[in-house]
Amino acid sequence: MVGIVIGLTGGIASGKSTVSDLFKEYNIPVVDADIVAREVVEPGEPALAGIVDAFGSDILLPDGALDRQKLGGIIFQDQEKREILNSIVHPVVRARMTADRDRLKTGYPAVVLDIPLLFEGSQLHLVDKVVVVNVDPSIQLERLMQRNNLTEQDALDRINSQMSLADKAARADAVIDNNGSRDETREQLEKLLLRWNIKEEA
C-alpha cells in the first residue's frame, strides 16, 4: 500500500490544528512542519551549528539551546538575516519531512503534512492533494482574539499579514469549512476520507 500524501494548511486560527488532531483520531499519521522546525535546531543538530556559525554563539542560551526570542528579534526587521536563517533551516526541514513522509506512506492509507505556509513556501510538490481549513473572516477574528487573548487590531494585523484564506481555499483540492461545530467539521473530514478511499464505509 502506498498512501496518498495530503498537505494540510489554513490561516491563523482557521482550525488547522483542530483538523490535524481529527486526522490522528482516524489513525492517519501527521508530520507537523512546526514541530520538525523545532527538532532540527535542537542541541547537537547540524542546523543549530549552522545558525551559530552565521549569528554567533550569543544566539544560544546558557544551556546550549537556541534563544528563539533573541533570534526572532534579530530577524524580525532584517530581511537579509531572515533569508540566511531560512537558507540554513528550510532545506533540513524539507529533507526531514520528505523522509518522514516516505517512511509513513508505505504503512498507512494516507499521511498528512501539516504545513502552515504550504502555498507561500512553494511546498506543493511535497504533496498529492491539498486540504485547506477555511472559516469566515469574522469567525477567524473572533477565535484568534479569544485563543491568543489579542485586541481586535492586533488580531487583524496578524490575519492581514498572511495570504488570504479565500485565496488558499480557491486553490485547494478540498476545503473543510470550520465555521460550524467541531462535530460538523469532523463529519466533513469523514466524508472526505471516504471520497478519497482513505477510510472504508463502517
Distance CA 169, CA 160 (A): 16
Residues 125-144 that bind ligand ADP (CB under 6 A): 143
List CB contacts of 73: < 8 A, sequence separation 6 or more.
Answer: none
Pairing of strands 129-134, 174-177: parallel
Least distance (Å) from ligand ADP to the CB of residue 46?
Answer: 29
162 belongs to the binding site for ligand ADP (CB under 6 A)? no
Distance CA 90, CA 104 (A): 21
- Which cell numbers hold the place of 37? 522546525
Distance CA 90, CA 128 (A): 20
195 belongs to the binding site for ligand ADP (CB under 6 A)? no
Least distance (Å) from ligand ADP to the CB of residue 143?
Answer: 4
- Which cell numbers hold the place of 190? 469523514
Residue 178 is given by DSSP the state -
Binding mask 64-83 for ligand ADP (x = CB under 6 A): --------------------
Query: In this chain, which residue has its C-beta nearest to ligand ADP?
Result: 17
Type of residue numbered 44: G
Least distance (Å) from ligand ADP to the CB of residue 155?
Answer: 11
Which member of 69, 181, 201, 202 binds ligand ADP (CB under 6 A)? 181
124 belongs to the binding site for ligand ADP (CB under 6 A)? no
User: Is residue 168 classed exposed, middle or buried when 0-12, 13-18 and 19+ CB atoms within 10 A define those classes?
Assistant: buried
17 belongs to the binding site for ligand ADP (CB under 6 A)? yes
178 belongs to the binding site for ligand ADP (CB under 6 A)? yes
Distance CA 101, CA 127 (A): 9
Residue 160 is given by DSSP the state H
Which member of 147, 157, 167, 194 binds ligand ADP (CB under 6 A)? 147
Least distance (Å) from ligand ADP to the CB of residue 181?
Answer: 6
Least distance (Å) from ligand ADP to the CB of residue 104?
Answer: 21
Residues that bind ligand ADP (CB under 6 A): 10, 12-18, 143, 147, 178, 181-182, 185
